[in-house]
Amino acid sequence: MTHKSGFVNIVGKPNVGKSTLLNALMGQDLSVVTPKAQTTRHRIKAILNEEHYQVVFSDTPGIMKPAYKLHERMLDAVEETFTDADLILYVTELKDRKIDEDLLAKLKNRHVPLFVLINKVDTGEQAEVEEAVQHWKDLLDPEVVLPVSALHRFQLDVLMDKIVAVLPEGPAYFDKDEEISDRNVRFFVAEIIRGKILQQYQKEIPYSVEVVVDDYKESPEIDRIKTVIYCARESQKAILLGHGGAAIKKLGTESRKRIEEFVGKKVYLEITVKVADDWRDNEKMLRRFGYE
């Protein structure tokens, strides 16, 4: 049997379920998933390996109007997905019919196959699903329009069959025995902590912080990790720490448990909070945080 491989890039608005879809397809949590919008900041490649194929998925930040230079960098990551894809998955919600004009033009002028995935179909009736399918067929003329529920894994096996069917024949791009992502463990540790911040804190705090792993020492029994949470203002630092340090202690405990699950061993986790004034509009800080 021939071997297939290719790059499948996932795009769509914030909070439509792109990261939930990626995690469900991979069978493990690689992208941060919360009910809050704009959860994903970086483009994350996830590598799905089977005997006869390798699919390199890219989860991307949600498409929105930029309010900071940080958002501009996030949109740059989305822009890349239109240049190196073998297949584009456009994820939308059942009840959403609107699409940005610029994105609409890009999807119509595509040079690779397009699948439209109508997510969260479990939230509506069959007639509404049929109406949505016809709407996207008429608007984008994609190769496939598929109603799915990433959360409940509805039709994801059908989706994988259709993805593999359109991928080009060729060898694997990454080592099939070793790699599940192009990102290292430090990246995922930072993302786990940022995900816990999104769950624990309210209002502007989750969107005003960045997590950096300063030091990571591995040993057979325990990994020792030093991290820094950067926030934009002193008032945010006080909220992150909480009264008597209670909030940061809770964050550390919840993050450590999840990191231990991820790395498969005990972890000693140290979290420090620092202020980096208005880092979201600071070119130097954005580069340091990996937003090239």
Give domain status of residue 172, yes or no: no
Residues 39-94 have pLDDT tens digits of 454 557 788 888 999 998 887 655 545 444 554 555 555 566 667 789 999 999 99
| Secondary structure (DSSP) of 173-208 | SS-TTT-SBSS-HHHHHHHHHHHHHHHH--TTGGGG
Position 168, amino acid: P
Task: Give yes or no: residues 151 and 68 share one domain.
Answer: yes
Which residue would you say has higher pLDDT here, 206 or 214?
A: 214
CA 188/CA 195 separation, integer angstroms: 10
What tokens appear for 179 in the block? 């790699």
Task: Give yes or no: residues 26 and 91 share one domain.
Answer: yes
Is the pLDDT reported for residue 250 higher than 90?
yes
Beta strands in 13-108 (DSSP E): 44-50, 53-59, 87-93
Residues 125-162 have pLDDT tens digits of 999 999 999 999 999 999 999 999 998 999 999 999 99
Q: What is the pLDDT of residue 103?
A: 78
**What is the residue range of 261's domain?**
185-288
Give domain status of residue 177, yes or no: no
Enclosing H/E stretch for 268? strand 266-275
Supply the CATH number for residue 251's domain. 3.30.300.20
Angle between helices 18-26 and 156-166 (to 10 degrees): 80
Task: Give yes or no: residues 193 and 226 share one domain.
Answer: yes
Count structural domains, the chain.
2
- Does residue 54 sit in helix, strand or coil? strand
Supply the CATH number for residue 152's domain. 3.40.50.300
- Boundary (domain end) residue, out of 105, 138, 166: 166
Query: Which segments of 201-264 does DSSP mark as H helices, in order?
Result: 234-241, 246-263
